[in-house]
């Protein structure tokens, strides 16, 4: 059984001027999820396919604990400039 494809979410400051999701990781520090996780490998594939260069700031092993330290919880997001969604086409 194949895993369901879900869109990836790019988070950026509310005042982010970039319109294209692929410009955001090049313009801001990149906070990655555990690189050994399946979803991280998919994200890395998408970044390579789009020739996106990132400046890694940190790597999170779990979102649950790290969300209490200033990273907003997804359920609180509203459709705004702070949230960009895209689905990788690999």
Per-domain residue ranges of the chain: 19-86
- Give the chain as a DSSP string: -PPPP--EEEE--TT----SGGGHHHHS-EEEE-TTSHHHHHHHHHHHHTT----EEEEES-HHHHGGGTPPPGGG--SSTTEEEE----
pTM here? 0.60
Q: What is the pLDDT of residues 78-88, one digit of tens each?
A: 444 445 444 44
Q: Which residues of the chain have pLDDT under 50?
A: 1, 65-69, 76-82, 84-88, 90
């Amino acid at each position: 059984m194949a895993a369901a494809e879900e869109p990836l979410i790019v988070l950026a400051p509310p005042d982010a001027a970039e319109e294209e999701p692929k410009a955001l990781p090049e313009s801001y520090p990149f906070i990655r999820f555990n690189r050994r996780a399946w979803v991280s490998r998919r994200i890395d594939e998408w970044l390579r396919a789009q020739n996106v260069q990132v400046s890694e700031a940190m790597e999170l092993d779990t979102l649950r604990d790290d969300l209490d330290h200033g990273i907003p919880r997804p359920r609180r997001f509203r459709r705004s400039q702070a949230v960009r969604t895209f689905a990788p086409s690999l």
